[in-house]
Homo-oligomer: A and B are copies of this chain.
Amino acid sequence: MTGSKFSFQLDCPVPKFDFDMITLGHGSGGLLTHRLLDAGVFTVFDNDYLREAHDGAYLDLQGKTAFTTDSFVVSPILFPGGNIGELAVNGTVNDVAMCGGIPKFLSLSFILEEGLKMDTFSTILQGVQNACLAAGVQIVTGDTKVVEKGKGDQVFINTTGLGPVHTKANIHMSRVRPGDVVITSGLVATHGIAIMSVREGLEFETVLLSDTTNLNGLVMELLDAFGEDIHFFRDPTRGGVASALNEVTKSIKVGIDLDQRSIPMEEGVEGACEMLGLDPLYVANEGILITIVQREKSDAILHLMRSHEKGKNASIIGEVTEEHPGQVVIRSTIGGRRVVQMLAGEQLPRIC
């Protein structure tokens, strides 16, 4: 199977395509589209919502609901530690969770390039479904379009997510206050370096794997236990930790002080960043979140995070301050201080 060395254990049903590659006819809305859906999508994602086979899904929703969307254009589509299908589910699951939402329902929309191999598409479909099973969400509606060879790049995916907001959640940038503590749930820069290493054909002593995963379980435990003491969540994907924290300081006119020594990183990732001349604070992340919390509860929050599989490398990395409003400032390992700007250009295109 294409890229199978990067695939994890596949538990869901395997699609049974009786053709080798995607053609324009699979986007026609006619016979070939139905064949693609019946053999692939409906086999893999079988559930009551999809079985309705309507133009959309009927959901029963009550009250405050989080609604998020993301398109995924990561290249390559199969990468060490995952594939674009898993990434698309985890990314949207995490965006719902960052709003304090409990992710439940996802839409799934493909833009496929003519000529895409069906075994690659199968791997991606299974990546989607296994990520859904792991996160406890369902694909309830979808769409498939096909573009001519040379007008796309194998597979683009849009996922849009819905979920009720946790009753104890009160997540908003405006709740961040001087004195608050900034915590990362895990190792920084892992995903970006994994993608870059495979894309550039770099060889390191150990294979660097993307950490793409869902974080909704961790978020729900944090909200259950600490509710309003959690002021803010953000998954620092494109633009990295630097851009995510600059959004906060620039929006609400506070400063943030970071301590470089406390920013956790895998040894291989740190080495790769040094070798490539990349600042890890600008490298895209997938499997971690940043949270900004009430100082008095920060130790207890850190303790809970470290007891959770998805937060075992959690670390307090800084604090919110009244000083230097609008700026993120980092104290380096040798004691110097510098301003960390928002990402200005583009370091690693198509990282998610």
Q: Is the interface of A mostly helix, strand, loop or mixed?
A: mixed
Known: A54-B99, A55-B234. A62 touches B62 (CB 8 A): yes
* Protomer copies: 2
Partner of A239, one of B23, B30, B63, B247: B30
Most buried by B among A29, A64, A72, A142: A29
> Could you say which of A120-128, A300-308, A339-347 contacts chain B?
A339-347
A140 vs B69: C-alpha distance in the bound complex, in angstroms? 10
Q: Does A162 contact B (CB under 8 A)?
A: yes
Say whether, besides A109-B158, A345-B25, A239 and B33 are in contact (CB < 8 Å): yes
Any B CB within 8 A of the CB of A73: yes
Taking A56-B101, A152-B153 as contacts, is the C-beta distance between A109 and B70 under 8 angstroms? yes
Q: Which residues of A contact B (CB under 8 A)?
A: 23-25, 27-34, 52-73, 75, 95-96, 98-99, 101, 105, 107-111, 140-143, 145-148, 150-153, 156, 158, 160-162, 165, 172-173, 234-235, 237-240, 243, 247, 251, 282, 284, 341-347, 349-350
Q: Would you give the shortest CB distance from A148 to chain B, in whole angstroms?
A: 7
Q: Which residues of B contact A284 (CB under 8 A)?
A: 29
CA distance A85 to B98 in the complex (A): 28
**Pair A59/B68 contact, Cβ less than 8 Å:** no
Is the Cβ of B234 less than 8 Å from the Cβ of A71? no
C-alpha spacing A25/B146, complex, angstroms: 26
A56-B95, A61-B61, A71-B143 given; A28·B346 CB < 8 A: yes
Q: What are the residues of chain B within 8 A of A58 when measuring CB–CB? A: 64-67, 99, 165
Chain B residues with CB under 8 Å of A239's CB are: 28-30, 33
Q: Of B60, B173, B243, which is within 8 A of A64 by CB?
A: B60
Please name 8 pairs of A and B residues whose Cβ atoms are closer than 8 Å in the assembled complex, sorted by A. Answer: A28-B239, A34-B247, A52-B172, A57-B67, A58-B99, A67-B107, A109-B158, A147-B350
**Contact flag A71-B238 (CB < 8 Å), given A54-B172, A349-B27:** no
